[in-house]
């Protein structure tokens, strides 16, 4: 009898441990829209994406860029290549914002190994597709209500997408295509628990696009406000010690150039990825439904509305610790062999 009871105990423990994975058996299909280079959290978020894809929790369909700089796409390619997925499509913005180099894209790309060769290899086609047209192509090819978009940069690409007319890719307008194909938009933007007058960077860089997109987006939107990443800091100890499984690591190098290995880093963009792929793990609470409005100066205001499509993330002290631990494990995970 004791042995029988023990067997049942082992069975139930196994079921409990496997439930989160069984409940999300189908990987989340998503597109990552990034301003990689303005902050190192974009690079860390890509590391998180690859770790989640290693677990079959997500499938990265494409990366689109909102930072209009020639070093952004090569840096994305370096990261995707390092993590063993060099063929993930990359599409770039045209006539966008933030054209400056930033603190780490070019610097990482110019690094050499001990033999004097480029430290990180990558390949890109001679002509990369433009982001908005590629978004139309990618969405049109996906099943209805199946794609999650993760926006951690400016609003430019998605605002332009909404304004596109029907074409040879799809007879649907951009707004119709989003309504049909997109399940959720998880975005790092705005501020909902910061001092009055605070203007979050991703919003204020392209305020007209932010206002236009938020007002017209047809699906649910979950905002990870500035305060979430500020509260959940990535520990420098992890960056110094957990990435040493290889001699050269592009995320660690990027962190060195941008933040310095002695300093903690806010996890802004990482939280949007984590929520998009694991919304039901208890990492975050959600605000009531409502409507986010962007003021002319870039401030974001949330107005409760039971019919609204907007909500924002909230964390308590226990969740801060839990999210930090999850992000450290995912960000520092080695590439899948």
| Number of domains composing the chain | 1
pLDDT for 337 equals: 80
With respect to residue 10, please indicate whether it lies within any of the assigned structural domains.
Answer: no
Instruction: Return the closest-CA partner of residue 39 out of 101, 113, 85, 103.
Output: 103
Q: How far apart are CA 112 and CA 239, in angstroms?
A: 21
Strand partners, 193: none
In a domain, residue 8? The reply is no
Indicate which CATH number applies to the domain containing 211: 3.90.245.10
pLDDT score for 172: 98
Quick: pLDDT tens for 142-178.
Answer: 999 999 999 999 999 999 999 999 999 999 999 999 9
Q: Which two three-digit tokens encode residue 210?
A: 């932010």
In the prediction, which pLDDT does 182 show?
98
In angstroms, the CA 134 to CA 33 distance is: 12
Cα separation, 287 vs 96, whole angstroms: 32
pTM of the model: 0.92
Q: Are 141 and 22 in contact (CB under 8 A)?
A: no
**204 lies in which domain range?**
29-331
| CA–CA separation, 134 and 205 (whole Å) | 23
In a domain, 7, yes or no: no
**336 in any annotated domain:** no
Whether residue 18 lies inside any domain: the answer is: no
Q: Which helix (H) or strand (E) holds 310?
A: strand 310-314
Question: Is residue 1 situated within a structural domain?
Answer: no
Instruction: Tell me whether residue 53 is in a domain.
Output: yes
User: With a cut of 50, which residues of the chain have pLDDT below it?
Assistant: 2-4, 6-24
Answer for the pair 261, 267: CB distance below 8 angstroms, yes or no: no
For residue 20, being part of any structural domain is answered with no
* pLDDT confidence of residue 9: 43
């Amino acid at each position: 009898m004791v042995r029988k009871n023990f067997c049942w105990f082992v069975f139930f423990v196994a079921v409990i441990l496997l439930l989160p994975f069984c409940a999300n058996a189908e990987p989340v299909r998503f597109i990552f829209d990034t301003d990689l280079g303005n902050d190192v959290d974009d690079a860390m978020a890509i590391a998180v994406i690859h770790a989640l894809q290693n677990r079959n929790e997500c499938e990265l369909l494409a990366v689109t860029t909102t930072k209009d700089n020639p070093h952004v796409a090569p840096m994305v390619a370096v990261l995707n290549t390092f993590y063993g997925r060099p063929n993930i499509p990359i599409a770039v913005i045209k006539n966008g914002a933030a054209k400056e180099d930033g603190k780490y894209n070019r610097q990482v790309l110019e690094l050499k190994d001990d033999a004097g060769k480029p430290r990180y290899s990558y390949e890109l086609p001679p002509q990369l597709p433009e982001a908005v047209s590629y978004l139309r192509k990618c969405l049109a090819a996906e099943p209805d209500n199946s794609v999650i978009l993760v926006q951690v940069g400016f609003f430019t690409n998605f605002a332009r997408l909404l304004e596109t007319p029907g074409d040879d890719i799809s007879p649907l307008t951009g707004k119709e295509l989003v309504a049909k194909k997109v399940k959720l938009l998880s975005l790092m933007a705005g501020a909902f628990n910061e001092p009055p007058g605070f203007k979050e960077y991703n919003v204020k860089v392209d305020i007209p696009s932010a206002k236009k997109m938020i007002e017209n987006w047809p699906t649910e939107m979950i905002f990870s406000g500035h305060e979430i990443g500020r509260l959940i800091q990535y520990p420098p100890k992890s960056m110094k010690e957990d990435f040493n499984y290889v001699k050269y690591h592009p995320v660690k190098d990027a962190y060195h150039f941008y933040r310095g290995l002695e300093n903690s880093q806010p996890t802004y963009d990482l939280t949007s990825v984590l929520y998009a792929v694991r919304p039901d793990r208890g990492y975050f609470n959600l605000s009531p439904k409502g409507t986010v409005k962007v003021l002319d100066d870039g401030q974001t205001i949330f107005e409760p509305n039971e019919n609204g499509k907007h909500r924002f993330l909230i964390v308590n002290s226990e969740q801060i610790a839990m999210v930090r631990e999850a992000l450290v494990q995912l960000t520092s995970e080695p590439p899948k062999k």
